[in-house]
Amino acid sequence: MTTSAGEAALFGILAPLMVLAALGLLFARRAVHAAVCVVFVMIALAVLYVANEAPFLGVVQVVVYTGAVMMLFLFVLMLVGVDAADSLTETIRGQRWIGVLFGAGLLVVLLGVLGRTDLPPAIGLDLANAQTNPTGLAAILFGDYVLAMEVIGVLLVTAALAGLVLTHRRRLGERRTQHTRMRERVAAVAQGAPLTPLPAPGVYAQNNAMDTPALGPDGQPLEHSVPRVLRIRGQQRTAADVLTAEETLRARLGLPAAVDSPVEPVETTTPSTPTPTDDAEARS
């Protein structure tokens, strides 16, 4: 099989760029940048497939791997988070040296296999594409490499399960549904809690502030009508403040004071109408 000048030039341009993108995948500090490097490698590989008379494989490379698998990868990044840093604490002592030994052993095995491999001259894709490229590709994948395809399928299922495990969050308490809330509200009636919803905070005749308790049907302030955050911070007006303001207003209007009122009513006097005699005396 001969290689044309165009194929050689295309390979000479894309191969170094693919190597750089692969190195970027290894040394990128951000997972999104690593994903972009993988996309570049896959697109360049699709171009090489098309140049080597495998157009169907090139299209599948772009549509399936670059379009679907990488989008799934980015989706997983959004679920897990890109700002999460890996822990540098070794949970297993000596795991780095174990990894180095396993890597060196794998390298020795690969070099031994390559040294004993007989590489016959390439015969091209004419025989494989005798019944069109998709048919030949299917015969090779599911005929000669069926075990490898099954292993890859198991690997993809394992990756999907790993994504589920990483995105799973343990629920700290029971899920509060509407039925659960109503059951708790009915159970709280025995302790004196009201069955109906609490009124909104604020005495609308005087004040609609969130820190002012609402008034019940008996005219007494309901402290639980104030938001819990304000009550925890101590920023709500107490019942005494509301009663004082209420009684002060009653005193100003001349209304009778409520029972056990902390404010004394203010005496009001009706201004008298001046007579002509009083006006004359005032002028003199």
Report percent pLDDT > 90 for the chain.
Answer: 4
The residue ranking higher by pLDDT, 244 or 128, is: 244
Q: Does residue 221 register a pLDDT over 80?
A: no
Q: Does residue 154 register a pLDDT over 60?
A: yes
DSSP code at position 129: T
Show Cβ contacts of residue 46 under 8 Å, excluding neighbours closer than 6 positions: 58, 59, 61, 62, 66
Residue 235 and residue 211 in contact, taking contact as beta carbons nearer than 8 Å: yes
Q: Does residue 40 register a pLDDT over 70?
A: yes
Q: Taking the CA atoms of the chain, what radius of gyration do you get in angstroms?
A: 41
**Per-residue confidence (pLDDT) for residue 280, from 0 to 100:** 47
**Bridge partners for 203 per DSSP:** 207
**Domain-embedded: residue 175:** no
Residues of the domain holding 244 = 196-267
Amino acid 131 reads Q
**Domain-embedded: residue 115:** no
In a shared domain, residues 217 and 148: no
What gap in Å lies between CA 7 and CA 91, rounded to an integer?
Answer: 49
Helix (H, G, I), strand (E, B) or coil at 158: helix
**Domain-embedded: residue 213:** yes
What gap in Å lies between CA 82 and CA 116, rounded to an integer?
Answer: 44
In a shared domain, residues 23 and 61: yes
21: CATH: 1.20.120.1200
**Domain-embedded: residue 172:** no
How many Å is the maximal CA-CA distance in the chain?
138
In a shared domain, residues 148 and 221: no
pLDDT digits (tens, 9 = 90+) for 41-99: 989 998 888 888 778 888 888 888 777 777 777 777 776 665 555 555 666 677 788 88
In a shared domain, residues 1 and 69: yes
**Per-residue confidence (pLDDT) for residue 73, from 0 to 100:** 76
CB atoms under 10 Å from CB of 124, counted, come to 12
pLDDT digits (tens, 9 = 90+) for 94-134: 778 888 898 899 889 888 877 776 666 655 666 666 677 67
**Per-residue confidence (pLDDT) for residue 278, from 0 to 100:** 47
**Domain-embedded: residue 62:** yes
Lowest-confidence segment of 52-56, 142-146, 155-159, 273-277 by average pLDDT: 273-277
Q: Which residue, of 61, 80, 99, is where some domain finishes?
A: 80
Residue 251 and residue 263 in contact, taking contact as beta carbons nearer than 8 Å: yes
Show Cβ contacts of residue 206 under 8 Å, excluding neighbours closer than 6 positions: 245, 246, 249
**Per-residue confidence (pLDDT) for residue 257, from 0 to 100:** 64
How many domains does the structure of the chain reveal?
3
In a shared domain, residues 200 and 154: no
